[in-house]
Amino acid sequence: MSTEKFPNIDLEKERKEILNAFRGLLRTVQDRSKEDTKFIRKAFDVAVDAHKDMRRKSGEPYIYHPIAVARICAEDMGLGATSVVCALLHDTVEDTHITLDDIEDLFGEKVRLIIDGLTKIPEVFDENASVQAENFRKMVLTISDDLRVVLIKLADRLHNMRTLGSMRSDKQIKIASETKFLYAPLAHRLGLYSVKSELEDLAFKYTEPEVHQEIEDKLKSTKDVRNRFIRRFTAPIREALLREGYVFKVKARTKSIPSIWKKMKTKGIPFDEVYDVFAIRIILETPQELEKPDCWRVYSIVTDFYQPSPDRLRDWISTPRANGYESLHTTVMSPTGKWVEVQIRTERMDEVAEKGLAAHYKYKESKSGESKFDRWIGEIRELLENPDVNAMDFINEFKLNLFNDEIYVFTPKGDLRVLPTGSTILDFAYDIHTDIGNSCIGAKVNNRLVPLSYQLNSGDQVDIIRSPKQKPNDEWLRFVVSARAKQKIKSSLNEERKMIAQDGKEILDRKFRHLNINFVSENISKLERFYKVPSATELYFRIAKGKLDLSRLRDFEVKNGLIQDQKKPSTRKRKDTDVYKKVDKKSDVIFIGEDFKNIEYKLSQCCNPIPGDKVFGFITINEGIKIHRTSCPNAEHLMSKMAYRCIKASWKSEELKENIAAITVYGIDRLGIVNKLTEIVSNQHNVNMKSISFETDDGIFEGHLKVLVYDTEHLDQLMRKFEQVEGVQRVERKMMKEDN
């Protein structure tokens, strides 16, 4: 926006105000040398000149924006001169005549790389979800280049949110929603508490304006009462701390408006019943080597006056959070019967909590070994480097890493691992190493044997049990929660699927040569459509599994090695409510997996039929047709008393997916028989175990297994192998209801 639209502006007055804003910025840059000051002044001069004819929507000179962004970097994040320079220049390459080469000539290669990273990130994401996801991926990609790119981008977003009032309302809601969805959680994960809180509050102001205003008014109206309460509550603590000779500050932090609203919604309570509207923060000035004992001593003083809630003690000093946050939190009962949260920390901890990453690295040298934050960055880098993860998957997995709270779990040697809340044995195994995850069959947690799906708790000690015969399966994806585990399992499954598909490709190639059909993409595409499969890989996979009838290729007309299109009758989409009248019970057959007269049919849960079972259809009154096994407990009743509602059914081009089947094994209890049976399941190709339980009585055992199989052929093979085990008397397939 040029100056022409604003003719009545006092340019001389503006120039003075811009200089004052710049001097204010310089005052916030900590520990700057004379060279730093010259470096920043040079960037300021270049930016002022480049943006001299530009104005923001509000009408103010554009240069105020880069100055404000630079000030957030210095003041709220504690970043140094290089970041301030980059913040001042962050829009020059995209919006003015200045090029990246100019930046490098004037400020060096490092500044060029950061500006280049910032220029690649679009300001407002596209309406298209997948493009938006790809843009966000580009931004996070810069984490592996230079974290300052992401930090400056967060500062840029914060200033844009502060000045969002001059935008159109639809743009306001879009930018606010995007901020709440990605930028605020990212700030939280980078440890920038004050930036995260302000981003959330500003986003809430535009997405829920009425609620925001209502809570803001209530906070203002109760401010005096709150302040009186805080003075009375902290008075005895202050006196005791002074007597003990501590140098300290006491602050009261009011809970953010979005946090208050979230508490009101989740608990179903009004504003007046939100007990933790504020928290008391005690900040000690103490040497680093005395931090831990001094914080616990202050905790002791606080609890001398007020009774603590044992369930609400949080020790993030002994085990800091992944973003570097350290503090001791307790909730105590005040004399008026209200719970009050008290946070105890040192000045160093407070700086890390407020300024996050920059402060974290400033103090990091005193800590031994790799920080949890570095591990998180490593996980993100791994996600980025995986070529199989598309942009939308990346967004979902990255958000997993942003939002999850943590639990603290120990290895057998006592090493601490930080995992998302809800993590299972498999998440832990993959956190240690991919190979350990892929070969994990269970674990001992606190010396007790548990399955792969067992959810871990803070303080658990985990010893992984492995088997070289184990390999990942689709079921695993249902109970892992960490992005790393999900990505590793998907990669492993894709690799196995590709290997099986390669066999199918060779089978099809031989068949094509036999029928003089060319192995070209045009022919493959026609087969995908004919067999109704989504991709060539899926086509090859099903061929390898013997699930596609390749003899049907003979029905195609072939000219010059190319398959000709077959004309097929179009299926009707009309929905008829009177199912009974549409079916000819004598001649009609339902081929499961194909359309049947546009009538809905589904597998019955009472007997759980799987491909290969002998089945029939039963016409219900208002639930379409249900497919039952002929051996179903209800079959005799249905086929004898209501035969007029029964129709023939058969398996044809069913989708290739795993189905649950139940088996009961009877026999004589012998040493090692359970191991033998589970070994057979793990060695049996394409059979996965869902659950297993055994009961013994006077030397006789009864084993109940639920397995995931593709069809009856696989199930029969498994049952025959069980029958061959010494001590097994008989093996039966049991009826079961599908798991909820």
Under a CB-based contact definition with an 8 Å cutoff, are residues 712 and 613 in contact?
yes
Interhelix angle for 100-107 vs 109-119, to 10°? 150
- Annotated catalytic residue within 95, 506, 623, 713: 95
Q: Is 105 a catalytic residue?
A: no
- Annotated catalytic residue within 14, 17, 60, 94: 94
Q: Is 594 a catalytic residue?
A: no
Count of CB atoms situated within 10 Å of the CB of 16? 10
**Residue among 245, 269, 274 at smallest CA distance from 341:** 274
**Residue among 69, 63, 61 at smallest CA distance from 86:** 69
CA distance 257 to 277: 9
Under a CB-based contact definition with an 8 Å cutoff, are residues 151 and 361 in contact?
no
Cα-based angle 680, 684, 689 (whole degrees, multiple of 5): 75
DSSP secondary-structure letter at 450?
E
Under a CB-based contact definition with an 8 Å cutoff, are residues 452 and 426 in contact?
yes
- DSSP states along 495-544: HHHHHHHHHHHHHHHHHHHHTT----HHHHHHHHHHHT-SSHHHHHHHHH
Cα-based angle 496, 501, 504 (whole degrees, multiple of 5): 140
CA distances from 531 to 538, 542, 558, 593, 651 (A): 10, 10, 17, 11, 15
Q: Going by C-beta distance under 8 Å and a sequence separation of 6 or more, which residues neighbour residue 359? A: 78, 191, 324, 348, 351, 352
Tokens of 63: 């240069």
Under a CB-based contact definition with an 8 Å cutoff, are residues 600 and 703 in contact?
no
Under a CB-based contact definition with an 8 Å cutoff, are residues 245 and 309 in contact?
no
Q: Going by C-beta distance under 8 Å and a sequence separation of 6 or more, which residues neighbour residue 688? A: 473, 475, 658, 681, 707, 708
Cite the active site residues: 94-95
